[in-house]
Structure 1
Amino acid sequence: MTSGHDKLMIKKMVNFDVANPSEAALRAIDVHELLPQQEPFVMIGTLIHFDKTLTVTETEVQKNNIFVDDDRFSASGLMENIAQTCAARIGYVNKYILKKGIQLGFIGAVRNFEVIDLPRVGDVITTRVDVKEEVFGMTLAEASITCGDEVLVTSEIKIAVKEQEEA
C-alpha cells in the first residue's frame, strides 16, 4: 500500500525535470525499476544524482548481502556496485528520457581497478560514475566509491549496451 508521503512524492515526480532532476526526485525512484537485476543481486540502494555525464548512487552495506564476508563488502561486490551504478544510469535514461524499457548492459572491460579499503556492514558508500565517452553503444567511464571522505575504490569501466530486438 502506498503511503501519503509516497503519493505526494509520486505526484511531485510527474512533472520533475528528467534532464536535471533534484536529489529528492531521484531518491523517490525505486532502483529496481531501473535495473535488470533483482534481489538478492541488487547492489545499489538509491540514485542520488544524474546529469549528462555523472551518475551517483548511495548504498548501505547490509549484513545479508551475498558479497559480504566477515562483515566486509568484498571487492567483487564493489565491482558489481559500480556496474549497477552504470546500469542505473542506462535505466534512468531509457525510462525517463527515451521512454523505453530496460536494456541489458555488459561489462566490456575493467581497467585500473584499485581497492584501497573494504567497507564494513552498516557503512554508507557513495559510488560515482563519470562518463568520459559514449560511442556505438559503448560507454567509457571513470568510477570511484567513497565512504565519507575516504576513497575506497577507483576504476575505469567500459559498458556495452545490448540493443533491444524489434518484436
Structure 2
Amino acid sequence: MADSGNIIADGEFLRSLIPQKDPFVMVDTLTKYTESRIISEFTIPSDNILVEKEHFSASGLIENMAQTVALHTGYKFYVKKLPAPVGYIGAIKKAEIITLPQIGQKLVTTVEILHDIMGVTLVQARVESGGSPLASSEMKTILAG
C-alpha cells in the first residue's frame, strides 16, 4: 500500500484507478498516499499528446494535477475494495503556470485535499520538477453519478 512507503509504478494498475485511458494518461507513479494527500510522478514522453514544441503544455500540467486528484480518489476506493469512480473537473481557481517543462523531465505533483464532501473534492495542487515549482492550482472535482 502506498501509504506505508511503497511506490506504485505498475502502469496497468495505476490506469485502473483513473478514468483516463491511453494516450491521455498523465501520471505514471504513485509515490505517497494518505487520506489528505497524494504525491504522483510523471516523466514526460516525447510522444505525449499534450507536448508542444518539445515542452509539456499548460493544458498538460492542469491535466496532470487533475489526474493526480483522480488517482487519490481511485486509490481511496481501491483500499475500500470498491471500483474507481468517474469524475470531472468542476472548477479551476488560482491556476498559475510558472514554466513549461521539457520532454523527459520528471514531474512531482502534490495534491492536498482541503475538503471532501458528498463527492465534491476541493484541493490545492502543485507541480515541481527537480525541486523547482512549475505550476499550482486550486481545483474542485466532482464524482459523476
Q: TM-score range by the shorter chain?
A: over 0.9
Instruction: Give the 3-state SS of the residue equivalent to 2:96 in structure 1.
Output: strand
Q: Distance in 1 between matches of 2:59 and 2:9?
A: 25
Q: Distance in 1 between matches of 2:129 and 2:138?
A: 19
Identity %: 33
Question: Which residue pairs with 1:35 in the alignment?
Answer: 18
Q: Is 1:60–2:43 an aligned residue pair?
A: yes
Q: Is 1:94–2:62 an aligned residue pair?
A: no
Question: Which residue pairs with 1:128 in the alignment?
Answer: 110
Question: Which residue pairs with 2:132 in the alignment?
Answer: 150
Instruction: Give the 3-state SS of the residue equivalent to 2:62 in structure 1.
Output: helix
Query: Greater strand percent: which structure?
Result: 2
- Compare CA radii of gyration and give the structure with the larger one: 1
* Partners of 2:95 and 2:136 within 8 A in 1: yes
Following superposition, the deviation at residue 28 of structure 1 comes to 4.8
Match of 1:50 among 22, 27, 33: 33
Q: Distance in 1 between matches of 2:28 and 2:63?
A: 13
Task: Give ranges in structure 2 of 5+ residues lacking alignment.
Answer: none
* Partners of 2:9 and 2:28 within 8 A in 1: no
* More relative contact order, 1 or 2 (CA 8 Å, 6+ apart): 2
Question: Which residue pairs with 1:4 in the alignment?
Answer: none
Q: Distance in 2 between matches of 1:161 and 1:21?
A: 27
Question: Which residue pairs with 1:83 in the alignment?
Answer: 66
Instruction: Give the 3-state SS of the residue equivalent to 1:23 in structure 2.
Output: coil
Q: Is 1:115–2:101 an aligned residue pair?
A: no
Task: Give ranges in structure 1 of 5+ residues lacking alignment.
Answer: 1-15
Normalization by structure 2: what TM-score? 0.93
Query: Given residue 60 of structure 2, which amino acid in structure 1 is its aligned partner?
Result: G
